Chains A and B, each alone.
Chain A
Amino acid sequence: MSEKLYKKLMDTVIEGEPEDAEQFAKEALEANLDPLDCINKGLVPGIQKVGELFSTGEYYLPELIIGADAMKAALEILEPALVGGQKREVVGMVVLGTVEGDLHEIGKTLVGTMLTANGFKVVDIGVDQSAEEFVKAAKEHDADIVGASALLTTTMLQQKKLVEALESAGLKDKVKVMVGGAPVTDGYAQEIGADGYAEDAISAVDIAFRLMDAPV
């Protein structure tokens, strides 16, 4: 019974069926399965397979995103049911958003999906977020990495404000800052004191692993 449900959860992620993922997560809880086992034996192998299929070129972006959506839908049911000190194992905690004054969403969404597929826990705080909101979320979620996206030359200046705000909050040593977006460069990232820059969602994963000092 349990193995069958783990397999079903895994398959919903691989096949990208968020509605089914949510349904099987509910069934698992009704059957009194351990939610952490459901995550570790069902969802995690599923999203790892999705990442593998994407890296070998078999899966394209929609399969990757919908697979992550399926995992997210199941996690929303399973994570609140974790008991005691139970916590799902993740590579790192990432708070992600688009900076204040900038409404561009897709870049940081792709980065979030790639990180999720590679074992990170990602909290996406959305677009048009002030430096203060980033700092607040970093504290709340005990973030290892804060990722800030900016698509405009006028809004990329907010990434500098974010670095300064983290410093003011005493978090700069604890939280690494990743920046990205069309006008952002490696040189700019260094200039404003960010810890990492990625030019696309795929290289963002490598950077995040490096910042976590974890093997890629």
Chain B
Amino acid sequence: MGRPPIEPMRTSRKLNFLDGQQLIDLQEATFRILEDTGVLFPSDKALDIFLEHGAIVDRDTQIVKFPRDVVIKAMKSVPRYFTLGARNPEFDLKLQEGVSYFTNDGCGHIVVELKTGERRASTKKDVGMAARINDYLSSMAFSWTMVSAQDCGLTSPLHEIDATWRNNTKHYQSVTMRGEAICRYGVEMATVLRGSEEELRSRPPISLIVCTIAPLVQDKEALEGALVLGEKGIPIVVMSMPTMGTTAPATYAGALAVGDAEVISAVVLMQLANPGAPVFHSILHAWADPRTAAYVGYPLDSRARYAPVEIAHHWGMPSLGGAFGTEASEPDSWRSAAEIATDPLLVALAGAEIVTGIGLRDTYTTLYPESFILDDDLYHSARFSLLDMDVNPDTLAVDVIAAVKPGGHFLSQKHTRRNMRTSMVRGVNHQLDQSGKYRDPGEYAREKVQWIMDNHHPEPPDEDVQNEIDRILKTADNELNS
């Protein structure tokens, strides 16, 4: 059985959470934060770049303040659309209006064994397993580091690339690469895979998530690594995760303003260093429980959930939307579906170009392999909801209705025979057992994921490419793990 094609979310519809004035007000707040409060950049390299381009840099505090014109000028070079290359060119992703490409969640550190239920720390083998499941599923347009290769030491981000490429032919977005040294090795591996620097730039097979530290602090290692990738045209996602009440104001607009200022300050750096470098904007906000300070991603009131996508577009940037990621600790409970069920629909309607993240539980930490299948089902439910309906003489079936007459039934109609098979699409909830009863969705998901692991074997990189990657990994291990 072949691999299903990628089925991204497509819609011509648009859901606006914010009106024009609100977007202007939010952007104005970001300008004011950048101008008056500034952002902490604990990186001499970054400070040098800012100084060179007219930002106000305090070397002692490492706080950078941004005159408005510096921001505006830098943001002008941000590309709105570009291509995320894949190992298999069929899976290259061309960013475009009305299409949302989804990936899995990341980066977890616990795996629950499918057969035994044993909970344990994730390994490089698990990275490969997740990449293989991702490669099979049509909901998955690209791949993320789903769990970390904790058995590989400091070079684990490079081993995660290796495990992914051995098991996955789509674009890979690393969630874990940090620091110049690791990122230089990552670039070397990607260049070997692609064959040349030109190919790497036009169809980058990897990209990187860079997280800020709320409130208003940048991560030195993450940023300096991102600058290495940016120089080679490898896309970067700058992601802020403001938590309302603790690391951000307890108001939604205030949290978005803080998150946006963090993202934009890093994007400005990327553009000043390498004008035109491909970058994504992402704000994954959350709430702090006012009694316990626990991280809460899904309170009852999470209005305007995907307003960050509009903020990104208002800046003229593509957006990464964060969906799924329930706090439920079970793979298939009411909570694990209910918290996240509307996410894929809302984020696609908001128009996010890329979206994470299917399949983890316990707030992005735990991988039950079967959760991949269950969340994939929620994805497709949303995808079907957004498909256009066919209205034409054949689908209206007025003649058929006349033939049946009041009180009859349609099962005897050839029109029904022609259409009934495809009119109801079976998800995990409607899989039949031998006696015609609907099966337990969790049980079905466990069987399906086992089937994928047993039967789906994506083509690995060519032998000479793999040999070269092995050599790079060995060099990196010797240098960084010793």
Contact = CB atoms under 8 A, between A and B. Distances in A.
A62 B412 CA distance: 6
A202 B436 contact: yes
B88 interface: no
A66 B412 CA distance: 5
Most buried by A among B408, B420, B435, B436: B436
Given A200-B436, A202-B435, A62 B420 contact: yes
B421 A105 contact: no
Contacts of A69: 412
Contacts of A16: 414, 417
B112 to A, nearest CB: 32
B408 A62 contact: no
B4 interface: no
B436 A105 contact: no
Contacts of B416: 62
Contacts of A109: 409, 411
Contact of B411 (A61, A103, A202): A61
Contacts of B432: 57
A105 B417 contact: no
Given A16-B417, A60-B420, A65 B436 contact: no
Nearest to A202: B436
Given A202-B435, A202-B436, A61 B420 contact: yes
A106 interface: yes
A18 to B, nearest CB: 8
Interface residues of B, number: 14
B350 to A, nearest CB: 38
Contacts of A57: 432
Chain B binding site: helix, strand, loop or mixed by DSSP? loop
A105 B407 contact: yes
A106 B408 CA distance: 8
B439 to A, nearest CB: 14
B421 A65 contact: no
Which of A62, A65, A110 gathers most chain B CB within 10 Å?
A: A62
Interface in B423-438: 432, 435-436
B270 to A, nearest CB: 54
A63 interface: yes
A63 B407 CA distance: 21
Given A63-B417, A202-B435, A106 B407 contact: no
A106 B436 contact: no
Contacts of A66: 411-412, 414, 417
Contact of A62 (B407, B417, B435, B436): B417
A105 B412 contact: no
Given A60-B417, A66-B414, A105-B409, 20 more contacts: A60-B420, A60-B421, A61-B411, A62-B411, A62-B412, A62-B414, A62-B416, A62-B417, A62-B420, A65-B411, A66-B412, A66-B417, A105-B408, A106-B411, A109-B409, A110-B411, A127-B407, A202-B436, A203-B435, A203-B436
Interface of B: 407-409, 411-414, 416-417, 420-421, 432, 435-436
25 contacts: A57-B432, A60-B417, A60-B420, A60-B421, A61-B411, A61-B420, A62-B412, A62-B414, A63-B417, A65-B411, A65-B412, A66-B417, A69-B412, A105-B407, A105-B408, A105-B409, A106-B409, A109-B409, A109-B411, A110-B411, A127-B407, A200-B436, A202-B435, A203-B435, A203-B436
Cβ-closest 6 pairs across A and B: A62-B417, A65-B411, A62-B416, A202-B436, A106-B409, A69-B412
